[in-house]
Each structure stands twice: as structure tokens, then as C-alpha cells.
Structure 1
């Protein structure tokens, strides 16, 4: 099992300059390597027996460029540009590996036939992280001793260990990254043991969750959590700070100070949202052995007029966090097709057509419940085929009829 623990660093002013210099040099190298790959692609994508009607590059056709050819050229790079000798070699190789992964995601489709976007050239400040692939090994560039992280060619940096590293976990690599409020290190921890998943025949509690914009989610037993709307609540403050930024002379020291204030506000909102997601995920995993959710097309929904609200609740990030927490606890999660969950009646199965404005499900069979509650019941009742569970959140719970939705209030960061 792999975990990532992030800790804040307390570098000196000289070390901060070194870290920023490394980021800028690695950005330039990344752009140069990407230019090599794009040049090779441009010169070789046309068939040998015909030419383009628009334009055609001239000159010798270069050899195919990949990670190995570019990594072998690091020695020549250091001879031409001596400042690269001050960067740990493994960090430069990891920088080229990042480019190689982005390049392959663009050209090679995954198992679903989807490909990533074309790699872009990085502008100043885009690369604000670099990785030491080995930690605490004889030839490693990073060594953690107590609360001191010793980095090759940088020196000893104080680490604020706000929580201990779990026993039995081995630190595989360390990534140094910059955020709006300072420098951090992310340790990738590995444990050889794998949590044992709960046997299917021992599942005692199960639920379906329906996510939404009026309520963050509603469970199959009628509990709901309100949407915190962290971004919308911070909009007025953000707008005021961004107006101040627009009045500054771009590139000046006052501009940089105000830009840092705006970045810190965005970082604060993101941290509030992430903490809320973890609180909800832990509450669900502690309460249920099986959680059924909808496989929504979130990217498509984010292109509608509700884009701001959808991106504010961040369903995709929450579902990833929930699944990760469930794996660590040995619980089960299952994504299902969301079609028909809001329209079909959870009591009799009859289709009850309604618009998004109608928030109450009322069926001729006498079932009158909240629309989201009905959807959560359908997720559990009709979509969990092959699992030994009932349709109402557990093995011993009967289906509720004509009941009000209860609310669960979580204590979140202000």
C-alpha cells in the first residue's frame, strides 16, 4: 500500500534561492526536451512518398527522441551549461520522466481508448516541484533524520513533522514543492502489507449516495449533508483582492505581494474543501461496509451553466478520497450507471418523469420522499446486483415511506 504524507519545510533564505533556481533551470530543460520531441514529430509525421500542401520542414530528419536519448544527453547539457552541475542528477532524470509520461498519455491511448492533452511549454513558475527518487538509502540524494531532511547540494532543511510517519512504512521518494504559503515535502510511503477487504458475505450495512448541488450528498437511509460552498462564500474577498491586483504595475514588488495574497486565498479555499471531503469520507466509511455511488460525467457537467457550483463541490475529488479511505479500512465501494435513478420510483419501479426543479418524488404507489433520497435508494436497490444486501441501507432495515430527510452536520474548518 502506498501513502503520501506532506510536511512543511522551514528552509533558510539561501536555500529558498537555491530551490527557486533549481525550479527555473528544470523548467528550461523541460521546454527544451519538449521542443526536441515536437520537432521530431513534425519532421516525421508526413509519409515518405508525399508532402504537405501547407508547409514542410526542411533539413535532416532527426533520430527518434525518447527518455533514454534525452537522459543520455544530460552530460552534454552540463558541459554546455555549467549551472546544471549544481542540480542533483536524479532530479533532472525525474524531470525528463515527467515529460515522457505526459508525452505517452498524449500519443498512446489508455485501456478505455482515451488520450491526454498535448504537453505544453511551461512558463516561468510552472515547475515548482522536483523529486528525489531515493530516500535514506546509501546512494540517495535525500536523508531524513528526526526532523532534519538533508538534501544533496542543498543542505539540511528543517521539517515540521506535525504527525509521525507510520511504523512499518518505508520512505520511497521525496518531492519538494512550493505552494503559496511556503515550501513543502511530500514523502511517498510504502507498506508491503495490503489491508484485507471485508468478505462480501459479512457486509452488514450498505448505502447508496446521491451527490447534488442543493445537498452535497444524501444516503439511502435519509441522511443528508449540506453543501458548504467554500468558494462562493470567499468570492467577495477574492474579488476585492483581485481588483487590488489589477491596479498594481505588473512585475513590480507590490504586484508580487498582492499576487501572493490572492494565491493564499485560493489555497485556503482548496484546503477547506479537502478537509470537508475527508470528514465526509471517514463518516461514510465508519458507518457503512458498502457504499454505492454514481459514475457521473463530471467533465461534461462542468461545461454547463452550473459549472461554478459543480467545481465548487468537487464531486470527483470527493469520490477519489472516499474510495482511498475505503481501501485503507477494508470496506467496499462500487460505481454504477446513474441513468434513471432520479426518475424511477424506489418503491414500485414506475417511471415518474420530473424536471430538475421538482425536488420531491411523489408516486402513485403512495411513496412521497425527497428526490435525492429516492435516487440513493435506487442506487442501492436496483444497481447493486449480485450483492447480499437489501434496498435500504442495510440487511435489517425496512424501506422508509413518507419520512422527512434528516441532516448530518459535520464540523469543518472555518
Structure 2
């Protein structure tokens, strides 16, 4: 099992200058290596049926460029540019590995036939993170001793260990990164043990969750969580700070100070949203053994007029966090096709057409409940087919109608009771 714990660093002013210098030099190396790859690609590719009207590459065809050829040229780069001698070599290798992964995502499709975008040249300040691939081992570039992180060619930096590293976990690598409010280190932890998943025959509680914009999610037993709208609430403050930024002279010290204020506000909103997602995920995993969710096309939905609200709730990030938390706890999650779940009646299965403005599902069989609740019941029925789970057949006309949906008040923290 792999985990990532992030801690804040307290570098000195001289160490901050060194860290920023490393980021700038690694950015230049990244751009040079990307230029090599693009040049090789343009010189070894041509259209079969036509020639370009603008230009065609001429000259000797270069040899193929990959990670190994570029990593072997690091020693020559240090001879030409002595400032690169001050950077730990494995950090430069990891920088080239990052480029190699982006390059392969662009050229080689994945199992679904999809490819990533073309790698871009990095602007100044785009690369402010670098990785030490070995920690606390012989000839490693990083050593964590107590609350002090000793980095090769940088020195000792104090680490704020706000939570202890779990017993039995081994630190595999350390990534130093810069954020708007300071420098951080992310430790990649590995545990040899594998979480034991709950046997299917022992699943006792299950639910379906329907995510939305009016309510963040609704479970199959009628519980709902309100949408926090962190970005919407911060919009007025962000707009005021961005207007101040627009009035500054671009590139001046005051411009950079104000840009940092705007970045801090965005960072605060992102942290609020992430903490909320963890709280909801832990509450669901603690309450149910099986969680059925809908496989939404979130990228497609984010192109509509509701894009700002959809990106604010961040369904995709929440579902990833929920699945990761469930794996750690040995619980089960399952994604199903959402088509028809909001239209079909969970009681009798009849098709009840309705627009998004209609928030109550009312069927001729007598069932009248919240439409999100009805959708969650349909999701549970789809995801629990063949499982010996009691109470997943939905509501019928013998039950109460027009029931009030209750809102859950989240109180747990992922760092205390839920960790």
C-alpha cells in the first residue's frame, strides 16, 4: 500500500534562494530536452502525399532521443554549464523522467485508446518541485532524522511533523515543492502489507449515492449533504483582490505580492474543498460496506453553462478520494451507468419523464420522493445485483410518501477519528 504524507518546511532565506535556483535550472533543462525530442520528431516525420508549403527540415537525420540518451548527457551539461554541478544528479534524472512520462502519454495511447496532450515548454516559475528518489538509505540524497530533513547540497531543513509517520511504513522518495504560502515536502510511503477487502458474503450495509448541484450527494436511505460552495462564497473576495492585481505594474514587486495574495486565496479554497471531500468519504466508508456511484462524464458536463458550479463541487476528485479511502478500509465501491436512474421509478420501474426543474419524483404507483433520493435507490439496485444485501429493493407504495430529506452534519476529521 502506498500513501503520500505532506509536511511543511521551514527553510532559511539562503535555502529558499537555493531551492528557487534549482527550480529555474531544472526548468531550462526540461525545455532543452523537450526541444531535442521535438526536433527529432520533426526531422524524422513527413507527409506521404504532400509537402509543406512553409518549410521542410533538412540536414543530417539525428538519432532517436529518449530518456537514456538525455540522462547520459547530464555529465556533459555540467561541463558546459558549471551551475548544474550544484544540483543533485538524481533530481536531474527525475526531471527527465517527468518529461519522458509526458512524452509517452502523448505518443502512446492507453488501454482505452486515449492520449495526453503535447508536452509544452515551461514558463518561468512553472517548475518549482523536484524529487529525491531515495530517502534514509545508503548514498541517498535525503535523510529524515527526527524533524530535520537533510538534503544533499542544500543542508538541513526543519520539518513540521503535524502527524507521525505510521509504524511499518518505509519512506521511498521525497518531493520538495513550492506553494503560495511556503515550501513543503511530500513523502511517498510504502507498506508491504495489503489491506484485506471485506468478503462479498459479509457485506451487510450498502447504499447508492447520487451527486448533484442542489445537494452534494444523496444516499439511498434518504440522507443528504448540502453543497458547501467554497468558490462561490470566495468569489467577491477573489474579484476584489484580482482587481487590485490588474492595477499593478506587471513584473513589479507590488505585482508579485498581490499575485501571491490571489494565489493564497485559491489555495485556501482548494484546501477547504479537499478537507470536505475527505470528511464525506470517511463518513460514507464508516457507514456502509458497499458504495455504488454513477460514472458521470464530468468533462462533458463541465462544458455546459453549469461549468462553474460543477467544477466547484469537484465530483471527480471526490470519487477518487472516496475509492482510495474505501480501499484502505477494505470496503467496496462500484460505478454504474447513470442513464435512466433519474427517470425510472425506484418502486415500480416505470419511466417518469421530468426536467431538471422538477425536483420531486411522482409516479402513478403512488411513490412521491425527492428525485435525487429516487436516483440513489436506482443506483443501489443496479450495483447490488447478485449480492445478498437486505433492504435494497427500493421503496414501494406502502411506505410514506413525500418524505423530508435529512441533511447530515459532518463532524469528523480525517486526521483524528477517521484516520
1:61 deviates by 1.1
Counterpart of 1:328 in structure 2 is 328
Task: Give the number of equivalent residue pairs.
Answer: 410
Please give the secondary structure, in 2, of the residue aligned with 1:317.
Answer: helix
Give the structure-2-normalised TM-score: 0.95
Counterpart of 1:56 in structure 2 is 56
Alpha-carbon separation, structure 1, partners of 2:341 and 2:390 = 17
1:364 is aligned to 2:359 = no
Q: Is the 8 A contact 2:209 2:379 kept in 1?
A: yes
Q: Is the 8 A contact 2:344 2:351 kept in 1?
A: yes
Question: 1:216–1:315: structure 2 CA closer, same or farther, 3 Å change rule?
Answer: same
Spell out the pairing of 1:66-105 with structure 2 (5 A cutoff): 66-105=66-105
Counterpart of 1:255 in structure 2 is 255
Provide Cα deviations, 1:119-170, integer angstroms capped at 9, x if missing partner.
1110001001000000000010000000000000000000000000000000
1:45 is aligned to 2:45 = yes
Spell out the pairing of 1:212-223 with structure 2 (5 A cutoff): 212-223=212-223
Spell out the pairing of 1:239-388 with structure 2 (5 A cutoff): 239-388=239-388
Counterpart of 1:202 in structure 2 is 202
Please give the secondary structure, in 2, of the residue aligned with 1:310.
Answer: helix
Gap regions ≥5 residues in structure 1: none
Question: 1:330–1:151: structure 2 CA closer, same or farther, 3 Å change rule?
Answer: same
Question: 1:141–1:393: structure 2 CA closer, same or farther, 3 Å change rule?
Answer: farther
Question: 1:383–1:332: structure 2 CA closer, same or farther, 3 Å change rule?
Answer: closer
1:47 deviates by 5.9
1:400 deviates by 6.4
Q: Is the 8 A contact 1:142 1:151 kept in 2?
A: yes
Alpha-carbon separation, structure 1, partners of 2:283 and 2:351 = 32
Structural RMSD (CA): 1.6
1:351 deviates by 0.5
Alpha-carbon separation, structure 2, partners of 1:331 and 1:30 = 41
Q: Is the 8 A contact 1:378 1:391 kept in 2?
A: no
Question: 1:400–1:186: structure 2 CA closer, same or farther, 3 Å change rule?
Answer: farther
1:50 deviates by 6.8
Gap regions ≥5 residues in structure 2: 414-419
Please give the secondary structure, in 2, of the residue aligned with 1:144.
Answer: strand
1:216 deviates by 0.1
1:382 deviates by 2.9
1:405 deviates by 1.0
Give structure 1 regions of 4+ aligned residues with deviation exceeding 3 angstroms. Answer: 47-54, 390-394, 398-402
Q: Is the 8 A contact 2:370 2:402 kept in 1?
A: no
Question: 1:381–1:260: structure 2 CA closer, same or farther, 3 Å change rule?
Answer: same
1:187 is aligned to 2:219 = no
Q: Is the 8 A contact 1:172 1:189 kept in 2?
A: yes
Q: Is the 8 A contact 2:384 2:392 kept in 1?
A: no
Please give the secondary structure, in 1, of the residue aligned with 2:165.
Answer: coil
1:412 deviates by 8.7
